[in-house]
Structure 1
Amino acid sequence: MLAVLMLGLVLVVWAVLARPAQRYSVTVPIAMAAAGLILTNGTHPLVDVEVTGPIVRHLIEITLALVLFTDATEISMRWLRETGRVPMRMIFIAFPLTVLLGFAAGVPLLPGAGWWVCAICAAVLAATDSTPILPMLHDQRLPSGMRHTITVVSGLDDGIAAPLVLLLLAGAVASTDLESVLLELLIALVAGLLTGFGGSRMLSLARERGWTTPEADRVGMLALAITAFAMAEVLHGNGFVAAFVAGLAARATAPHMPHAALQTVSDTATVLSAAVWFVFGSLIVPAFMDGLEWRVFAYAFLSLTLIRMLPVALSLLGSHVPWRERWALGFWGPRGLDSMVLGIIALEQLSGLDADWVADVVVVVISLSILIHGLSARYFASWWDRRSRALAGSAGPSTR
Structure 2
Amino acid sequence: MLAVLMLGLVLVTWAVLARPAQRYSVTVPIAMAASGLILTNGTHPLVNVEVTGPIVRHLIEITLALVLFTDATDISMRWLRETGRVPMRMLFIAFPLTVLLGFAAGVPLLPGAGWWVCAICAAVLAATDSTPILPLLHDHRLPSGMRHTITVVSGLDDGLAAPLVLLLLAGAIGTEDLESVLLELLIALVVGLVVGSGGAKLLAVARTRAWCTEEAQRVGLLALAITAFAMGEVLHGNGFVAAFVAGLAARATAPHMPRSSLQTVSDTALVLSAAVWFVFGSLIVPAFMDGLEWRVFVYAFLSLTLIRMLPVALSLVGSHLPWRERWALGFWGPRGLDSMVLGIIALEQLSGLDADWVADVVVVVISLSILIHGLSARYFASWWARRSRTLAAAARRTGT
Q: TM-score, normalised by structure 2?
A: 0.99
Alpha-carbon distance, 1:388 to partner: 1.2
Rounded to whole Å, the distance in 2 between the matches of 1:211 and 1:115 is: 55
Aligned AA (1:109): L
Q: Does 1:76 align with 2:76?
A: yes
Report the equivalent of 2:185: 185
Alpha-carbon distance, 1:396 to partner: 3.1
Q: TM-score, normalised by structure 1?
A: 0.99
Report the equivalent of 1:138: 138
Rounded to whole Å, the distance in 1 between the matches of 2:176 and 2:205 is: 43
Alpha-carbon distance, 1:399 to partner: 3.7
The aligned runs of 1:110-149 (5 Å cut-off) are 110-149=110-149
Report the equivalent of 2:258: 258
The aligned runs of 1:288-303 (5 Å cut-off) are 288-303=288-303
Rounded to whole Å, the distance in 2 between the matches of 1:393 and 1:220 is: 50
Report the equivalent of 1:53: 53
Report the equivalent of 1:367: 367
Rounded to whole Å, the distance in 1 between the matches of 2:219 and 2:389 is: 45
Report the equivalent of 1:97: 97
Provide closer, same or farther for how the CA distance between residues 270 and 176 of structure 1 changes in structure 2, counting only shifts above 3 A. farther
Aligned AA (2:157): D
Rounded to whole Å, the distance in 2 between the matches of 1:84 and 1:176 is: 38
Aligned AA (2:309): M
Deviations 1:194-228 (A, max 9, x none): 00011010000000000000111011000000000
**Please, which runs of 5 or more residues in structure 1 have no aligned partner?**
none
Rounded to whole Å, the distance in 2 between the matches of 1:301 and 1:232 is: 36
Alpha-carbon distance, 1:176 to partner: 5.5
Aligned AA (1:180): S
Report the equivalent of 1:202: 202
Rounded to whole Å, the distance in 2 between the matches of 1:132 and 1:285 is: 20
Rounded to whole Å, the distance in 2 between the matches of 1:25 and 1:228 is: 34
Report the equivalent of 1:249: 249
Alpha-carbon distance, 1:175 to partner: 7.5
Rounded to whole Å, the distance in 2 between the matches of 1:97 and 1:322 is: 21
Alpha-carbon distance, 1:391 to partner: 1.7
Report the equivalent of 1:309: 309
**Once the two structures are aligned, what percentage of the paired residues are identical?**
89
Report the equivalent of 1:217: 217
How many positions carry a matched residue from both structures? 400
Report the equivalent of 1:158: 158
Bigger mean CA deviation after superposition, 390-399 or 107-116: 390-399
SS in 2 for 1:255: coil
Rounded to whole Å, the distance in 2 between the matches of 1:341 and 1:176 is: 24
Aligned AA (1:236): H
Rounded to whole Å, the distance in 2 between the matches of 1:398 and 1:16 is: 48
Rounded to whole Å, the distance in 2 between the matches of 1:399 and 1:60 is: 55
The CA RMSD measured in Å over matched residues stands at 0.9
Report the equivalent of 2:270: 270
Report the equivalent of 2:346: 346
Rounded to whole Å, the distance in 2 between the matches of 1:159 and 1:275 is: 23
Report the equivalent of 2:324: 324
Report the equivalent of 1:9: 9
Rounded to whole Å, the distance in 1 between the matches of 2:163 and 2:270 is: 24
Alpha-carbon distance, 1:351 to partner: 0.1
**Please, which runs of 5 or more residues in structure 2 have no aligned partner?**
none
Deviations 1:61-103 (A, max 9, x none): 0000000000001111111111100000000000000000000
Report the equivalent of 1:25: 25
Aligned AA (1:272): L
Alpha-carbon distance, 1:390 to partner: 1.3
Rounded to whole Å, the distance in 1 between the matches of 2:209 and 2:145 is: 35
Report the equivalent of 1:239: 239
SS in 2 for 1:396: helix
